[in-house]
């Protein structure tokens, strides 16, 4: 895998052999997986996937074989990750979400989608099942059930409290291969919202002191990337 500095220069270059070169397909995918949430800087009407482009381009360029996605309200980013693997011709995403909704203290805007039949089967329409597997369970349970799993690319978008995201970091950093990448959503949200007090920003501030990193749209929701050296 190339170093993180190479990505700074090349992440927007995508050798497209994909339906993602087709605006109609992009809009359909974004609509199905409800990509119009403000946190991803996406715009369905313009076929602009926002942070989805960063994930897609990064995976196409870095070509990770084993990927992990922690959390997603309706599956937009895990679907993009799986599509990138499909277009690479290899790669598999383990997608973990506890399936919490607003009745849970730790739902973090989750709507219980992954407990529904629609959620469990949503990746089939785009023929992504070969490249993604859904695990409806907590990250603690997943890490305990699959202790030997190792990854090249890990995206963390689950529990956004400081305690919660630090728990996910401690669970999965040891499972990240040397040279691999860990990405964090909402690194810029510092306030307390209806779902709780955000703490991803605090963890990312700690991690970037010791690791090579990139931060995007730092004045908005934010996407942070660190590399394991």
Q: What is the pLDDT of residue 217?
A: 87
The answer for residues whose C-beta is within 8 angstroms of residue 107's C-beta and 6 or more apart is 100, 101, 195
Mean pLDDT value of segment 105-130: 95
- CATH number, domain 64-227, options 2.60.40.420, 3.40.50.10490, 3.30.9.90, 3.40.50.150: 3.40.50.150
Residue 16 pLDDT exceeds 70:
no
Mean pLDDT value of segment 139-167: 98
Domain ranges in the chain are: 64-227
State how far the Cα of 35 lies from the Cα of 33, in Å rounded to an integer.
6
What pTM was estimated for this model as a whole? 0.92
**Digit-coded pLDDT (tens) for 31-88:** 999 998 778 999 999 999 999 999 999 999 999 999 999 999 999 999 999 999 999 9
Chain centroid to CA 218: 17
Q: What is the pLDDT of residue 71?
A: 97
Q: 141 or 217, which is more confident? A: 141
């Amino acid at each position: 895998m190339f170093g993180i500095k190479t990505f700074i220069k090349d992440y927007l270059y995508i050798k497209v052999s994909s339906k993602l070169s087709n605006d109609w397909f992009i809009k359909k995918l974004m609509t199905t997986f409800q990509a119009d949430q403000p946190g991803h800087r996406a715009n369905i009407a313009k076929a602009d996937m926002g942070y989805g482009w960063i994930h897609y381009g990064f995976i196409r360029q870095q070509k990770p074989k084993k990927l992990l996605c922690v959390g997603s309200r309706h599956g937009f980013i895990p679907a993009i990750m799986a599509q990138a693997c499909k277009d690479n011709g290899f790669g598999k995403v383990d997608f973990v979400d506890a399936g919490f909704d607003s009745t849970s203290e730790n739902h973090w805007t989750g709507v219980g989608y992954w407990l529904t039949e629609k959620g469990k089967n949503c990746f089939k329409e785009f023929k992504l099942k070969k490249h993604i597997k859904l695990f409806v369970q907590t990250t603690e349970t997943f890490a305990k059930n699959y202790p030997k799993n190792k990854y090249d690319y890990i995206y963390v978008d689950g529990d956004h409290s400081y305690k919660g995201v630090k728990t996910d970091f401690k669970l999965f950093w040891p499972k990240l291969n040397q040279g691999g990448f860990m990405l964090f959503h909402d690194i810029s949200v510092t306030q307390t919202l209806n779902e709780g007090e955000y703490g991803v920003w605090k963890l990312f501030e700690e991690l970037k002191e010791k690791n090579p990193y990139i931060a995007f749209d730092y004045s908005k929701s934010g996407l942070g990337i660190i590399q394991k050296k």
